[in-house]
Amino acid sequence: MAVSANMNAIILTAVWGIVMMFGGAFFKQKSTPKYWAIAGLALVIIANCYELFKLDPKGVEHGNLFPVEIKGMLTFDSFNLLFITLVLICTLFLFLLNGRDIEKVGNNVSEYFALIFFVLCGVSIAATYNTLLTLFLGIEILSIPLYILTGSDKRNLKSNEAALKYFLMGSFSTGILLMGIAFIYGGNTGTPTFYINNINLGTGKLPVMIGIGLVFLLIAMVFKVSAAPFHFWAPDVYDGAPTVFTSFMATIVKAGGFIAFIRLFEHAFGTAQQQWQILIAIITAATLLIGNLTAVFQQSVKRMLAYSSIAQAGFMLLSIFAINQFAKEGVILYTAAYSLATIGLFAVLIKMSDYTIDGFNGLAKQQPVLAFTATICLLSLTGVPLTAGFQAKLFMLIAAVNDGHQNWLVVFAVLCAAISAYYYFKIIQAIYFKESTSAVQQWDVTPAFKVLLIITAALILILGIWPSLIIDWLYY
Amino acid sequence: MDQDISITFPHVLIFFPLLAGLITFFLKKDATVKSWALFSSIITLCVSLGSLYYANNKALSGLTFNYEWLKYIGASFSVSLDGMGRILTLLTALSFPIIFVATYKNQYKNTNSFYGLMLLTQAGLMGVFLASDALLFYFFWELAIIPVYFLCSKWGGEKRIQATFKFFIYTFTGSLLMLVGIIYIYLQTAATQDAAGKIISAHSFAINYFYAAQLTVDQQSWLFWLFFIAFAIKMPVFPFHTWQPDTYEQSPSAVTMVLSGVMVKMGLFGVVRWLLPMFPLAVAKFDTVVIILSVIGIVYASLLAIKQDDLKRLVAYSSIAHIGLMSATIFATKQIGLEGVMIQMFNHGINIIGLWIVIEMMEQQLGVRKISQLSGVAHKAPVLTIMLVVIGFANIALPLTNAFVGEFMMFSGLFQFNSWIAVVALVSIILAAVYTLTMVQKVFYGQVNALTTNMKEISVNAQIALSIIVVAIFLSGIYPQPLFDLTKDTVTAIITRFK
Amino acid sequence: MPINYYIFLALALFCIGVIGVLTRRNAIIIFMCIELMLNAANLLLVAFSKLHTQVSALPTAGSDAQIFVFFIMVVAAAEVSVGLAIIVMMYRNTHSVDVNFLNRLKN
Amino acid sequence: MSNTLQIVWLIPFLPLIGFLINGLGRNHLSKSLTGLIGSGVILGSFLISLFVFFQVKNGNTHVAHYFDFINTASLKVGFDFQVDQLSSLFLLIITGVGFLIHVYSTSYMHEEPSKDFAKYFAYLNLFVFSMLLLVMGANYIIMFIGWEGVGLCSYLLIGFWFKDNANNDAAKKAFIMNRIGDFGFLLAVFWLIAKLGTTDYHQVFALAIDTQKILLTPFDIGGITLLLFLGATGKSAQIPLYTWLPDAMAGPTPVSALIHAATMVTAGIYMIARSNILFTMAPLTQSVIAIIGLATAVVAATIALKQNDIKKVLAYSTVSQLGYMFLGLGVGAYTGAVFHVMTHAFFKALLFLGAGSVIHAMGGEQDMRNMGGLKKYMSITHITFLLGCLAIAGMPPFSGFFSKDEILAEAFAKNPVYWGIGVLTAFMTAFYMFRLYAMTFLGKFRGTHDQEHHLHESPAAITIPLIVLAILAFVGGWIGMPKVFMPNGHRLEAFLEPIFAKSNEHVAALGTAHELSHTTEYALMAISVVGALIALLYAWNKFSKYEKTSEEETGLAKAISNKWYVDELYNAVIVKPVQSIAGFFSNVVEKRGIDGFVNGVGKAVNYGSRQIRLLQTGQVSAYMLMMVVAILILFIIQLFL
Amino acid sequence: MSITQILFWLLSALAVGGAIMVVASKSPVHSILFLIITFFAISGHYILLNAQFLAIVNVIVYAGAIMVLFLFVVMLMNLNEESAPPQKNKYILYGGTIAGASLMLVLVAALKQSSQGRYLMDINSGTGGLIENLGKLLFTDYVFPFEISSVLFLSAMIGAVVISKKEA
């Protein structure tokens, strides 16, 4: 076990969070924090990439700027380093695209950024934890700022309501998580410890306590990734929260939850896969069904995307259903594809005056660039070839089929994907084939914004053609 | 897997239309757009003609190009040009210039995106016919649909959006099922190795690996249906056909020509290239079911065609009938039948495009497609009429027109499979005569009515397009041998797999 | 004293907490019930730590669990500060902390 | 391949050239030029046919291979022409009669605008081309090409005046009925391919009689022949597919003469004669053919008795005569059938052309009730027509007598009943032909005055063909003298002997053939001739003083003059049901059934979505309750299942 | 029945009873007070289990700080009675109770069969929970989580500030 783990990201994000926090007192213009934040994030990314590059296959790392003795409470490999890098980059895109919208949310701009940095810190812990303690801390550090961000639009009752719901249910799930940890610890005979990779699962059927703990942990995790039937918070929260933070939550945070999930079930319970696989299968099926089906009828695009994010989570769950190499490649790809697409889509959505589907009518005429990029994002979410979304889904399906225990689940998944095409293409229709009914709205769209959107779309396409650009980092 | 990066025909055939299409999006003036589109499509035609000379008859070798694309999952950009590929790429390459010429006068708003999408469609189709890698095949399979979806929904008739949407969801669902099948087989394939013999990837998407995959009967049985549904929707085979008449009716004529002339061949191609060789056991198990479905489709569609009042719907149903015959024959897996199918895939494309052009010409001038509203066009547009009569009789497979030889051999293949099924299917030649002649009589003969009095002779470039088609009809009707020689290799390859 | 007793006790507290969460409408009380759940977890952990101290030879065997409990308390404290802040904000806007009135967002 | 007969490709090629020139140049060529080209090419191929005929007569038969039509691993079909006695004979008939009719047409169609005039000749040439392909093809597929080609041309020519939808309906009916025939023909060919893998006459027949390896079971042969015969009934207007022929009279009269009397309708006879060996080996089929032919002959004759349209009468008589020929084929009198084809070609063409000349003179009038007494206006037409009538009525020494009596004799040999009915039909034939003759030429004129004013003899272009044909109709029969008259007088039989040799051997082997004694033959002839004569005379003086009456006929007569209501029957039994089934499919099955299901899936998704989103009540407690329930379920699954 | 067992049962009864009252009692203030009682009982259990340090912290942090905070908030809003009209949808009430109870049942039923549950443990002996041991551990092995939790507090603090600061 390495001396110290992926500290660059964690420490720098934390530090930069503090910087932003104090910055709040000094920044005069409202736009300053944005630049600081972007700069800081760039710094973090560089540091993290440095670490990633210096990594050697044997897992001994040379790129750590902060050699701290952590008793292997965090571990890291190319997988989670790569993952964190992706997450950070996605966040950077979010900042660049929607920085000005963050300013619109309220007065405490720099605090918002600070909180986002803390969330990132939490994500990087959740991605690299090696003991249940760090898992717990990571999850909490990731959640608590989100409660705030959700409620940050204080005048807006929806925002308040969302915050309260999120908080109540979130801490409820925390309770469940702790119960699970306790049972795992208690049931763990031999050398009792919180280190996830020496949990003694015994042979044959799981010991009862471990079993109980496993289910509790499973539920807590499933809750974090908003999979049915523990998804109920997601639509309301995503709907109520300020759109820019919704975009952040629906992509980066959810991905963080997944990476934690996958780590836990690979390293802690991987050997007993047979005994929990059926649970995941059920949950996956439920998630796919509820997510897609409910999304079909939504009129508000924002809420529709909330449900679609649930549906996508269902697809990502396939990776946990079948934990194998394909699944890990897949989850990386999926994170990148899904996050990019969703962020791009939300970036466009934020610019709309009307969040209903009809609001998109005739967008192609008024804003061809926005229309085009939104279409690419939608195609990617649908999983049409040549977009990153397809590659992601492909890997997920390969992983699931390769596991081979529940092939009905795979067929079910693709059928649900077909349903998803139904509502994604409703938007495309609105954009291209319907005439705008309402009066032409005012757009505050800068050229830079457009360029960034195009870059996003281009990335999606490039990843769609050469997913190896990312995946090769897993084995070099 | 040779890393041969020299320019080969297949990837010119794919990438030239692709680039041409992309360029088209950035052209401004309509005239330039049109001429560029026409020009580039003609170039493509020349290339595909050129590729015919290099025809060497070994199935799936011939002109191959191969580049390791996603090596960690053993997918490679490998394309190859065998007999069936050649004849279908030729059809694709031939049909687009004809379509462009015929619809040269049409005014589409945002001309550049229209023609751009058209060329992209062509690229996608080429890819489908050339791909010899399952993942690549699936890629192009989808890519051929997307532009068509936009074309139809943007430039189509008044009910276009729903119709096209239905069409898209329908086909998308089918192809997703196929994707599951592909993945499953992929995971049964052997590992790929490089020259040094070290394993590159655990499995491979390459077609020969797929052929070599060891599948039990049970596996084949459900995989068969996964693939078959995708192809059946595309062809379409009864009862998966209901999207077709609506889509044909609603989409702009140029697109309808592509859809019915070339795109339906994707399904047939898929069956011959992928389904038959991969699941011989399942085919042996289910062939009767499928054939009966197809034959029902033939008679059913012919009967419906009699009742249609909209010319486009009529042609749509007649096309369903013809396709049904082809699919039935394919699943009969008799040599003579397959030989017939090969050339019929080409000829059906030519004929039906001709029919669409004729209909388009009339709709252009009179704005209606209703048989009941038209009459006596022959007095006003004799040339159009003659062309129509020729194409119409080709459509009912009169000897010395191109369709005869194909249908003759297909029927006799079907007869060798099961004479009674052939008898039922053969009824369609009578019904075909009924609806075709009724249409010709009602629309072209009889007295000129108020509407058709202001009908004029068709434009020159329409005449050119139609004459090309008519010439093609007679050429391959009187001397079909070259087409047989082109596709010999594919047929023998299939038949040997079934021996 | 079998460990089961402690487990059952903790479970009882936990489930009572759950019941409270499900049945009460006052956000604060719901929150308190959640705290109750956390404490149940704490109790369980402590009990297990005791168990492990006995089972394994080394004296500090179970203490990691106690550290964990310590961290749980830390987190709980932080959560409480945030949670109460949110509740207060809610109260400011609606003059009610009844979760039944939280139904602007649905379907 | 240095055989002189290799040049036979010229025979069909010339008409094709004519078709192309006339067809493409129709807007530019003058009428006279068009007519010249149109008839010239036929003349050309007639001359070549003569040459070929004499070559063949000197025993030089040949199969000319030009190129591979289909050449695959599974099927080889050469584009081959077979020149032997049978085909050379038909070549003569087709090109000869064809030429005369072309000449005739140049004058008959002269009122047409030059464009349509050219179109007409183009079609006519195309027809001759296809007909030649039909008879020259060396395998069933080439034959089928011609087979369908003539069908197409008949379709085009019947609907030549396509302004009038009645003509179009007739054309359509003709084509579709032919298609039904083709249905059988194709199935037969598929069957052959499936069993023998070839369609070349030589190989097929060789394999058929091959007694070593039995490739064709009797069942196969029976089926194949029956199916082929189905094809023949379509093309040659036999029961049940004969109804198109009378309607086909909607076309121009020369067309009726050429296609619907002389040549095309005899394609069926040619085809069966060509594959005689197969039929000889299928006695069941033979009797079917005989019975159907006989029935057709009778039915058509009865209908002809009461028709008033001059062309309709001729049409039904054609059907009836074709019935004779099939009777001949059925009883194995192949020579007789072919013989009758030839003679019939002469006199029926003559009669049609005569009728055409009459119609021409009457200004398009076809109803005999408005004619009468024409003999003093148009003598040539009258004379030639009379000869034609005598020939068809089977009066010695006119051609019809010989051919018909040969068939009847053979029929008697096979089964006296056949002969009885046949001879009865002969009487009817004599009756209605002379009814026609009398109503048209005798008595006093019943038409309007300006019609009477315009009455005149037709120009030379019309009369010359009439005369030529009249001569042929007179002497044409002498090449087939019955043995009873002179021992080896039957030149035709001697000429065609090689074609039917195999069949004769087969029959001889079976030993069912038995010669008629001379006395019986004389008796038969006497009966038929006398009977016909009586019928003839009766009709003559009954209808020479025919007056227009308007009393409603009843019972049998009504049924007859309504053609036994066959069209109505077909309409009710076939057309209507098909239409209604199609309607049912397109309105119910398609829309509600299949498409309904597809849309139903979409609707179901929408409905499910509307329902399932009610889960999202907005109540936190409800959410958590559902979560806890889910937790419960998961625990139960994990711990107790 | 030794003194420890008596204590155990006593404390357990106290904890459970308090917990029930927390849920049951109408007035929020009362529930808070009952919750404090429960926490004290739990602290008692900690002492029984030789987790002295935790017992103290529990009393100080929970019963002291947190609960006071709750009390303070409740007072501030002075909602000593549930102001809203009585529960409309009773099914949540019953459903919730039944669900919670059956969860309990399921888990107990599962644990009853487990061998692990049979460990006998002798109460109040051992030094695992003394401050010095824990302190050593905390500042050596667990320094990293310790540091990290500061981030948690920071975010909580910022959050509280952001939320409760008046919009200018």
Q: What is the pLDDT of residues B253-296, one digit of tens each?
A: 889 999 998 999 999 999 998 999 899 899 989 999 999 999 99
3-state secondary structure of D154: helix
The answer to whether D614 contacts chain A (CB < 8 Å) is no
pLDDT at B168 over 50: yes
Cβ-Cβ contacts under 8 Å, A421 against chain B: 168-169, 172
Closest by Cα among B251, B273, B271 to B261: B251
* Chain C positions touching chain D (beta carbons under 8 Å): 18, 21-23, 25, 30, 99-100, 102-107
3-state secondary structure of A72: coil
Whether residue D634 contacts residue A218, with contact meaning beta carbons closer than 8 Å, is answered with yes
Cβ within 8 Å of residue A77, ≥6 positions away: A55, A59
Closest by Cα among A464, A302, A469, A476 to A393: A464
Among candidates E89, E99, E107 on the partner chain, residue whose Cβ is nearest the Cβ of D628: E99
The answer to whether D634 contacts chain A (CB < 8 Å) is yes
Closest by Cα among B260, B449, B454 to B371: B449
Among D603, D619, D620, pick the best mutation site for testing chain A contact (most A Cβ within 10 A).
D620
Q: Which two tokens stand for residue E26?
A: 């109408």
The answer to whether B15 contacts chain D (CB < 8 Å) is no
Q: How far apart are the CA of A234 and the nearest CA of chain D, in angstroms?
A: 10
Amino acid occupying residue E52: Q
Q: Does E touch C (3+ CB pairs < 8 Å)?
A: yes
Nearest chain E residue to C85, by CA: E160
Lowest-confidence segment of D460-474, E40-54, E112-126 by average pLDDT: E112-126
Contact D638 A219 (CB under 8 A): no
| Overall residue count recorded for chain A in this entry | 476
Whether residue A114 contacts residue A21, with contact meaning beta carbons closer than 8 Å, is answered with yes
The answer to whether D556 contacts chain B (CB < 8 Å) is no
**Alpha-carbon dihedral sign for residues B378, B383, B388, B390:** positive
3-state secondary structure of A10: helix
DSSP code of residue B66 = E
Q: Which neighbouring-strand residues pair with B370?
A: B310
Q: How far is Cα of residue D531 from the mean position of the Cα atoms in its chain?
A: 29
Lowest-confidence segment of D463-467, D482-486, D523-527 by average pLDDT: D482-486
Whether residue A296 contacts residue A259, with contact meaning beta carbons closer than 8 Å, is answered with no
Among candidates C18, C21, C103 on the partner chain, residue whose Cβ is nearest the Cβ of D619: C103
Per residue in D305-362, pLDDT (tens digit) is 888 888 888 999 999 999 989 999 988 888 889 999 999 999 999 999 999 888 888 8
Closest by Cα among B63, B85, B471, B49 to B273: B85
Contact D71 B484 (CB under 8 A): yes
For residue A173, the model assigns a pLDDT of: 94
Among C11, C16, C21, pick the best mutation site for testing chain D contact (most D Cβ within 10 A).
C21
Q: Which neighbouring-strand residues pair with B193?
A: B199
Cβ-Cβ contacts under 8 Å, E141 against chain C: 64
Contact A297 D626 (CB under 8 A): no
Nearest chain A residue to D627, by CA: A230
Whether residue D335 contacts residue D85, with contact meaning beta carbons closer than 8 Å, is answered with no
The answer to whether E126 contacts chain C (CB < 8 Å) is yes
Cβ-Cβ contacts under 8 Å, B150 against chain A: 432
Nearest chain B residue to D168, by CA: B441
Whether residue A160 contacts residue C23, with contact meaning beta carbons closer than 8 Å, is answered with no
CA distances (Å), origin C23, targets C103, D205, E16: 17, 96, 17
Cβ-Cβ contacts under 8 Å, C81 against chain E: 69, 156-157, 159-160
pLDDT grade, residue D612 (50/70/90)? confident
DSSP-derived secondary structure for B97-139: HHHHHHTTT---SSHHHHHHHHHHHHHHHHHHHHB-BHHHHHH
Q: How many CB atoms neighbour CB E64 within 10 A?
A: 14
The answer to whether D67 contacts chain B (CB < 8 Å) is yes
For residue C65, the model assigns a pLDDT of: 87
Q: How far apart are the CA of E1 and the nearest CA of chain A, in angstroms?
A: 26
Q: How far apart are CA A59 and CA A76, in angstroms?
A: 8
- Phi/psi at D269 (5° precision): -65, -45
Cβ-Cβ contacts under 8 Å, D634 against chain A: 215, 218-219, 279, 282
Whether residue A102 contacts residue A244, with contact meaning beta carbons closer than 8 Å, is answered with yes
The answer to whether D166 contacts chain E (CB < 8 Å) is no
Contact E106 D628 (CB under 8 A): no
Among D619, D627, D629, D635, pick the best mutation site for testing chain C contact (most C Cβ within 10 A).
D619
First and final C-alpha spacing in chain D: 87
Q: How far apart are the CA of A295 and the nearest CA of chain C, in angstroms?
A: 10
- Phi/psi at B78 (5° precision): -120, 125
ipTM: 0.90
Q: Which two tokens stand for residue E67?
A: 């609960």
The answer to whether A476 contacts chain B (CB < 8 Å) is no
Rg (CA), chain A: 21
Q: Hey, which of A148-152, D414-418, D472-476, E127-131 has the most confident mean pLDDT?
A: A148-152
3-state secondary structure of D367: strand
Q: Does B touch E (3+ CB pairs < 8 Å)?
A: no
Per residue in B401-437, pLDDT (tens digit) is 889 999 999 999 999 999 899 999 999 999 999 999 9
Residue identified by tokens 């209903």 is A356
Amino acid occupying residue A131: T
For residue B59, the model assigns a pLDDT of: 38
Q: Which neighbouring-strand residues pair with D62?
A: D83
Contact E116 A151 (CB under 8 A): no
3-state secondary structure of A111: helix
Amino acid occupying residue B47: V
3-state secondary structure of B190: coil
The answer to whether D165 contacts chain E (CB < 8 Å) is no
Element (H, E) at B375: none
The answer to whether B186 contacts chain A (CB < 8 Å) is yes
Q: Which neighbouring-strand residues pair with D70?
A: D77
Identify the chains in contact with E, defined as 3+ C-beta pairs within 8 A. A, C, D
* Beta strand segments in B73-218, E: 75-81, 192-193, 199-201
Taking the CA of residue A45 as centre, how many other CA atoms within 13 Å lie in the half-sphere pointing to its CB?
Answer: 15
Q: Which two tokens stand for residue B280?
A: 């011989």
Share of chain A above pLDDT 90, in %: 52
For residue A382, the model assigns a pLDDT of: 92
Among E148, E150, E161, E167, pick the best mutation site for testing chain A contact (most A Cβ within 10 A).
E148
* Beta strand segments in D72-149, E: 76-83
pLDDT grade, residue E80 (50/70/90)? low
Cβ-Cβ contacts under 8 Å, D603 against chain A: none
Lowest-confidence segment of A240-249, B22-31, D5-14, D363-372 by average pLDDT: D363-372
Among B76, B109, B180, B223, pick the best mutation site for testing chain A contact (most A Cβ within 10 A).
B180
Among candidates A169, A223, A235 on the partner chain, residue whose Cβ is nearest the Cβ of D616: A235
pLDDT at A163 over 90: yes
Contact A186 E167 (CB under 8 A): no
Q: How far apart are CA B374 and CA B366, in angstroms?
A: 9
Nearest chain E residue to D619, by CA: E92
DSSP code of residue B459 = P
For residue D415, the model assigns a pLDDT of: 85
DSSP code of residue B200 = E
- Phi/psi at B81 (5° precision): -125, 90
pLDDT grade, residue D132 (50/70/90)? very high
Cβ-Cβ contacts under 8 Å, A272 against chain D: none
Amino acid occupying residue B363: E
Per residue in D145-172, pLDDT (tens digit) is 999 999 999 999 888 888 888 888 889 9
DSSP code of residue D626 = H
The answer to whether D585 contacts chain A (CB < 8 Å) is no
Q: How far apart are CA B495 and CA B475, in angstroms?
A: 28
Q: Which two tokens stand for residue D431?
A: 């009756």
pLDDT tens, chain C, 107 aa long: 788 888 999 999 999 999 999 988 889 999 999 999 999 999 999 988 888 877 776 666 778 888 899 999 999 999 999 999 999 888 888 888 888 877 888 87
Q: How far apart are the CA of D161 and the nearest CA of chain B, in angstroms?
A: 9
Amino acid occupying residue A228: A
Contact C99 D620 (CB under 8 A): yes
Contact B405 D176 (CB under 8 A): no
DSSP-derived secondary structure for C24-50: --BHHHHHHHHHHHHHHHHHHHHHHHH
Please count the residue pairs, one from chain A and one from chain C, whose beta carbons lie less than 8 angstroms apart. 131
Which alpha helices (H) appear in B396-418, and where do they start and end?
402-417
Contact C38 A178 (CB under 8 A): yes
Residue-averaged pLDDT of chain E? 83
Residue identified by tokens 């291979």 is D65
Q: Which neighbouring-strand residues pair with D82?
A: D63
Cβ-Cβ contacts under 8 Å, E99 against chain D: 625, 628-629, 632
- Note which residues in 182-211 of chain A have CB less than 8 A from chain E: 186-187, 189, 207-209, 211
